[in-house]
Chains A and B, each alone.
Chain A
Amino acid sequence: MGRFGASFITTSTWDPVAGQFGAWPAIVGTLLTSLLALSMAVPLSLGVAIYLPEFAPGPIRRPVATVIELLAAIPSVVYGLWGIFVLIPFLTTWVYPFLEARLGFLPFFTGPVYGPSVLSASIILTVMIVPFIMSVSREVLLAVPSGQREAALALGATRWEAVSTAIVPYAKSGIIGAVILGLGRALGETMAVTMLIGNRHEVAASLFAPGYTMAAVIANEFADAAGGPIHESALILMALLLFGVTVLVNAIARLMIWRVSLGRGNT
């Protein structure tokens, strides 16, 4: 594998027939879709996880929570199909034109609108990890001892203040854990992303353009590694790289938790 060298990571041309293997677009695509998905999923899932047990009317709590937990169990290929037949038509008809009209001055929202794109893949990832992050952080929040809430309320906190200053901080590390699990899931998600990202080895500024992720490259090309054994080794190296990226991202996330929990004592 040594024959690929650093150019494997730094170059962008992926042409198995010509024996050129540049994984940069897939690396960027993986990180970009995951981080985009995370940035949309975290506020949404934490919002629901906090709102549901605290403020939602009693009768709707259980059903909503159950439905969301069920969503976490749906196979990703089903998400992929749903993405192709429902999500993409919806996005291309309503959301993308709107984004282009309003935010078109940013390079991220310019150029031709493709259905399958980095943004579509990020959105399907969001849909997939929201239930996951939500149900884990809901468990974590429910596990906060009632004494914490009572302590805050007894000191004159309003309900919202009790949640924001006592319950959520108590559950903080668990919630961060839930987010990291969600990120791990997004980084490794293969099927739904393959179906929605457009599968093109290219780094484009616009989120409307197709892209690729490492997991998708491996899944798509491994079955018939057209470029022969070299192509196969390139894919194995890609897998190794995906593993490395996942470990690295997790390590960074853990480091952040560690710093947060160290900083806890400061006023």
Chain B
Amino acid sequence: MTDHASAPPAIEARDFSFWYGERKTLHEVSIQIAPKAVTAIIGPSGCGKSTFLRCVNRMNDLVVDTRTEGELVVEGRAVYGSGLDLVAHRQRVGMVFQRPNPFPKSIYDNVAYGPALNALVPRRALPEVVERCLRRAALWDEVKDRLQAPATGLSGGQQQRLCIARALANEPSVLLMDEPCSALDPIATLKVEELIFELKQDYTIVIVTHNMQQAARVASRTGFFEAGRLVEMGETQQIFTAPRNERTEAYITGRFG
């Protein structure tokens, strides 16, 4: 029924479970995330949305004593498989965090960080990469005259777009966004949303959001999580207007008010 069904999923989980210590936080999640599209993940606080996202790029490795079961595959590679090159994996799977977290370096150095670190392009090509990514993140016009200024001097919304530019410069194919707009005002939010919409032609984007309208605006498909389980997944339109599961319906109607 969907146009994505034909292409192999960019991210696929099969009965994937995750434990923080003794606590099982994700329960047998099976999900398929289409390539080059925006997929939203919604659900009540604490249901495991961030945990899922942080499994995809193995950010959860930072937490001691965690365990997984089942399969999680990104572009054909098993994320928790023994042969995974973690550095290369994280370069392919970019992440934008809830709080903008630019480095206390210059705007330029922030964007150049990934490509320089991973030696993606020759050093002399960096300025061009920086410009392209800042343009892509709709930030170029605001910062082109002060590339050497500290990134921490930018507004919150600009910082978040800088973080997106920084992620893009790393040439990822997947972009994970964990509530990227929750620290931003409505105008900045709108800019980031436009940007996400723009980026979906080239990137597989997974966005966690508490904002139903935002999910409706940017995502073609939406998954609803509750208590560590994927309750329902479908076309965004369908999830919001005709949810099949009563839990989804209760959440959606509660949130839309």
| B123-163 near A? 1/0 per residue, CB < 8 Å | 00000000000000000000000001110000000000001
Please name all residues of chain A whose beta carbon is closer than 8 Å to the beta carbon of B163 when the two chains form the complex: 151
Q: Which residues, 58 to 84 on A, are CB-close (under 8 Å) to B? A: 58
Q: Which residue of B lies closest to A146 (CB)?
A: B62
- What's the Cα separation between A206 and B101 when bound, in Å? 51
Docked Cα-Cα span, A147 to B149, in Å, equals 21
Q: Are A148 and B91 in contact (CB under 8 A)?
A: no
Chain B CB within 8 A of A195 CB: no
In the complex, A149 Cα to B103 Cα: how many Å? 10
- Are A153 and B101 interface neighbours, CB within 8 A? no
The distance in angstroms between the C-alpha atoms of A169 and B103, with both chains bound, is 9
Mark interface residues in A148-172 (1 if CB within 8 Å of B CB, else 0): 1111111111100100011001100
A residues less than 8 Å from B117 (CB atoms): 155-157, 161, 165
Q: Is B104 interfacial (CB 8 A cutoff)?
A: yes
Comparing B28-36, B107-115, B201-209, the segment that makes contact with chain A is B107-115
CB distance from A169 to the nearest CB of B (A): 7
Check if B24 is an interface residue, CB within 8 A of chain A. Answer: no
Distance of A266 Cα from B106 Cα, bound (Å):
7
Contact B90 A155, beta carbon cutoff 8 Å: yes
A216 to B149, CA, bound (A): 47
Given contacts A147-B101, A154-B95, A157-B117, contact A265 B148 (CB under 8 A): yes
Indicate whether B233 reaches chain A with its CB closer than 8 angstroms. no
Chain B residue nearest to A155 in the complex (CB): B114
CB within 8 Å for A151 and B103 given contacts A58-B64, A156-B88: yes
Min CB gap A263→B, angstroms? 10
CB distance from B213 to the nearest CB of A (A): 26
Q: How far is the CA of A148 from the CA of B105 in the complex (A)?
A: 12
Chain A contact patch, size range: 20 to 34
Q: Are A155 and B113 in contact (CB under 8 A)?
A: yes
CB of A145 within 8 Å of the partner chain: yes
Q: Are A153 and B167 in contact (CB under 8 A)?
A: no
Q: Which residues of chain B are near A149, meaning CB under 8 Å? A: 62
Number of interface residues of B (CB under 8 A): 32
Judge whether B97 is part of the interface by a CB distance below 8 angstroms.
yes
Chain A residues, CB < 8 A from B170: 155-156
Judged by a CB distance under 8 angstroms, whether B229 is at the interface is no
Mask: chain B, 39-59; 1 = CB below 8 Å from A; 0 = not: 000000000000000000101
Q: Which residues of B contact A155 (CB under 8 A)?
A: 90-91, 94, 113-114, 117-118, 166-167, 170
B242 proximal to A (CB < 8 A)? no
Are the C-beta atoms of A154 and B57 separated by less than 8 Å?
Answer: yes
Query: Complex formed: what's the CA distance from A150 to B117 in Å?
Result: 15
| B62→A150 contact, CB < 8 A | yes
- Chain B hits for A147, CB < 8 A: 97, 99, 101
Asked whether A3 is an interface residue with its Cβ less than 8 Å from the other chain, the reply is no
Q: Bound complex: CA of A150 vs CA of B167, how far in Å?
A: 12
* 8 Å CB contact of A264 from B64, B99, B104, B167: B104
Chain A: minimal CB distance from B58 (Å):
9
Cα A157 to Cα B112 in complex, Å, equals 13
Smallest Cβ-Cβ distance to B107: which chain A residue: A265
The contact string, 1 if C-beta is below 8 Å from chain A, for chain B 75-104, is 000000000000110110011010101111
Instruction: For the complex, give the distance between the alpha carbons of A156 and B170 in Å.
Output: 9
Q: Are B167 and A148 in contact (CB under 8 A)?
A: no
Complex Cα spacing A147 to B152, Å: 14
**CA distance in complex: A265, B109 (Å):** 8
- Nearest A-chain residue to B95, judged by Cβ: A154
Instruction: Please determine whether A166 and B103 come into contact, CB atoms closer than 8 angstroms.
Output: yes
Asked whether, in the complex, the Cβ of B118 is within 8 Å of the Cβ of A156, the reply is yes
Closest to A173 in B: B104
Residues on A with C-beta less than 8 A from B97 are: 147, 150-151, 154
Q: Contacts A154-B94, A156-B88, A267-B112: A148 and B62 contacting too (C-beta < 8 A)?
A: no
* Alpha-carbon gap, A146 to B104, bound state (A): 14
Q: In the complex the two chains form, is A156's CB within 8 Å of B105's CB?
A: no
Task: List A contacts of B118 (CB < 8 A).
Answer: 155-156
Min CB–CB distance B40 → chain A (angstroms):
20
Q: Which residues of A contact B (CB under 8 A)?
A: 58, 145-158, 161, 165-166, 169-170, 264-267
List 22 A–B pairs whose Cβ atoms lie within 8 Å, in order of A's numbering.
Answer: A147-B97, A150-B62, A151-B97, A151-B102, A152-B103, A153-B62, A154-B59, A155-B91, A155-B94, A155-B114, A155-B117, A156-B87, A156-B117, A156-B170, A157-B87, A170-B103, A264-B105, A264-B150, A265-B106, A265-B148, A267-B109, A267-B112
In addition to A148-B103, A153-B90, A155-B118, 10 A-B residue pairs with Cβ atoms within 8 Å of each other are A147-B97, A151-B101, A151-B102, A151-B163, A153-B62, A154-B94, A165-B113, A169-B104, A266-B106, A267-B108
